[in-house]
Structure 1
């Protein structure tokens, strides 16, 4: 079997009645992306089911993941498709082999749920981002305090694709 790539994922999504699209911009040698999954509801309407936003640098510092949203009452496979597609794009089009994100600290229960969700995807907590002056750059980038987590793009892709394709 051929290793799945973004084109194959778009085809698989289409076969399930979904539309998968990625918009990439490259100002100042930084990839900025928005990946969306929608469902065609009529000839002229598409319902947005989920999205991922982030950016990547020219160097191998890693893929920076900023926003991941999946609509309420949406099949969990949509999240799997978003993760697999994002990682496939990063592995195909960028030098990034790792991904970074911040599990924002909103409230105890929600923060724990986020961390558990990201760990299942293949991310590990590197450190806590709090109110230290050393944390200021990360707080500015991600807009808050939380758990700074890093994952291997290939590992995240494999876990997500396996769940998507089941």
Structure 2
């Protein structure tokens, strides 16, 4: 499948490429951004290269991966990635300057719509640090329901899911 660009009223989400490496390095090494990402660890340049390569591969083979979110400038990332053996997890990160403007909701909504409408995934999952209350609230606003708490490196992780269905994601499609 070819990589897809997603657009919303205010945002453009474009698949990550090797040319985006410096942008991702600067973004994902910002302490406020990585607080709830990567268990607080700073990614190395090699890990970022690997993430981009993996994303390009999954866009080719499965139609999804890592998107960069832009308005007139870069404001963050969103994507789908495997969550253990459950299925695909929605994830996102925004620059601190773009927090509290509805961008995370808008981008995540576009990715979830793409997951259900284009990829025909049966479910989308989310996992957030228990302390990341803003992301937990966002996932619930996006129609995901909390279903488990699992141990994480830095404390409990809350797991959410939303099924593809006609009743808003409460009943799995059979």
**Shift, 1:82, TM fit:** 0.8
Counterpart in the other structure of 1:161: none
**Is contact 2:109-2:142 (8 Å) kept?**
no
**Shift, 1:128, TM fit:** 0.9
**Is contact 2:58-2:64 (8 Å) kept?**
yes
- Cα distance in 2, alignment partners of residues 101 and 55 from structure 1: 10
Q: Deviations over 1:65-119 (max 9, x none)?
A: 2x311222326232233112202321233231321121123xxxx3333322321
TM-score, with structure 1 as normaliser: 0.55
Q: Deviations over 1:122-150 (max 9, x none)?
A: 111111102xxxxxxxx59xx97411111
1:151 aligned to 2:162?
Answer: yes
Count of residues paired in the alignment: 123
1:19 aligned to 2:12?
Answer: yes
1:113 aligned to 2:139?
Answer: no
Bigger share in strand: 1
**Is contact 2:69-2:78 (8 Å) kept?**
no
Q: How does 1:111-150 map to 2 (within 5 A)?
A: 111-130=132-151, 145-150=156-161
**Is contact 2:122-2:164 (8 Å) kept?**
yes
- Cα distance in 2, alignment partners of residues 144 and 102 from structure 1: 12
Bigger share in helix: 1
Q: How does 1:48-87 map to 2 (within 5 A)?
A: 48-55=74-81, 62-65=87-90, 67-74=91-98, 76-87=101-112
- Cα distance in 1, alignment partners of residues 107 and 63 from structure 2: 17
